[in-house]
Amino acid sequence: MRPMPAINASNTGLSGVNHPSSAIPARIPHIASLDLMRGLVIVLMALDHVRWYFLDADFSPTDLSRTDSALFLTRWATHLCAPTFVFLAGTSAFLSAAHSTDRHQLAARLFTRGLWLVILELTIVRLAWFFNLDYSQMDLQVIWALGWSMVVLAGLVYMPLWSIAVLGIGMIAAHNLLDGIRLEDFEMADGSLGWQGWLLSVLHIPRFPVGYPLIPWIGVMAAGYAFGPLMLTTSKTRKQLALAAGAALIAAFVILRAYNAYGDPSSWSTRETALFTLFSFLNTTKYPPSLLFLLMTLGAMFILLSVFERRHGLVEDFFITFGRVPLFFYVLHLYVIHGLVIVFGYAIRGDIDSFMTIPVFFPPWWGFSLPVVYLIWVAVTASLYPVCRWFAAIKSRHRGRWWTYYV
């Protein structure tokens, strides 16, 4: 990849320019480290979903009173996925507007793509999770959050880039100030929520069917968009900037977490062993993602991006393939995993009906050990590689508007 000329703050848009076209060189090469990072997290996401569908444990892997080291670390490693995916979606939105001088065109593309993702969550993705059409069962997750965050970003692109950065970082840093608000405060006399309560559940407090409240995720995507100009520097500069950003975020996480004062609704505590005390320290809140959760995961993402700014071999190319078609892989792997559950359930007990829903409703006899879960994950990932490579080749030959919806 040919290095890009370095750019300074005056032409990145951080000094007040509104649109990324003012910040770009004439030609933007493909940035393989972004695809590699996306590919890694989408494969890790598959591990988390295989674990959820196939593991025999009936408790949360982060429940320190019941979990073990392998199970906790398996779940903890997958925390990297959603923050990275949302942040890099913002960065990709900036880079996708590279040669356009029309902010209205960029806003329209983000708006329609965001609505497409919301519709996808409500239809094809929901069917993959549940394998039924009973819409009383619903779980609005990461694709939902991505979609609405893009819709909001469509309005934000009219602002100066520095103000988008301030807004995004501010939402990430300050949203835990809302932790003292309770949904019970907005209940009606009949026990139902008033409109203020429902709005709060959509924006900050998870409640069926919203699993991913929007405020912090909108902030993550906005911050990712504002990070876009820094990806237009040379590979060496990108590596240095990503490493510095990652180190700063990890340091901020350690300091804030050590004080147990702000940034996460759950405090850490001393446990029976040093290892489980460390687990308690790392066990931050994902729903919604707390400030400390985002400092921890985005810090790790930046450090990995720094590492990925180097020559790539066969292993890296394997993940890059998935990173070029993340939405395609996401939808496909859900159907494959859930389909395998049906096959296993029928083979073991002749039971199909019990698995036409999400794992929380599966029968108590179902499940396998963690090593078996890892074997299934490897098999699923390997089986999808040829299909994703085929689709990535098709996508690279088609640059029309429809193909841009495959984020």
Tens digits of residue pLDDT in 332-384: 999 999 999 999 999 999 999 999 999 999 999 999 999 999 999 999 999 99
Number of Cβ within a 10 Å radius of residue 127 = 15
| pLDDT tier at 311, thresholds 50, 70, 90 | confident
Average pLDDT over residues 30-35: 86
Most confident of 192-196, 248-252, 309-313: 248-252
Beta strand spans in 259-312 (E): none
The predicted structure's pLDDT at residue 6 = 40
The predicted structure's pLDDT at residue 9 = 39
**What does residue 193 show for φ and ψ, rounded to 5 degrees?**
-85, 140
The predicted structure's pLDDT at residue 398 = 67
Show the 3-state SS of 44-63. Answer: HHHHHHHHHHHECCCCCCCC
The predicted structure's pLDDT at residue 189 = 67
| pLDDT tier at 407, thresholds 50, 70, 90 | very low
The predicted structure's pLDDT at residue 201 = 86
| pLDDT tier at 100, thresholds 50, 70, 90 | low
The predicted structure's pLDDT at residue 403 = 52
Residue 7: what residue type? I
The predicted structure's pLDDT at residue 245 = 96
**What does residue 262 show for φ and ψ, rounded to 5 degrees?**
-155, 150
* Residue, of 225 and 400, whose pLDDT is higher: 225
Average pLDDT, the chain: 88
Per the CB < 8 A criterion, the answer to whether 23 and 229 are in contact is yes
| pLDDT tier at 204, thresholds 50, 70, 90 | confident
pTM of the model: 0.90
| pLDDT tier at 12, thresholds 50, 70, 90 | very low
The predicted-structure confidence for 257-268, as pLDDT tens digits, reads as follows 999 999 999 999
Residue 307 has pLDDT above 50, yes or no: yes
Specify which residues 178 forms β-bridges with. none
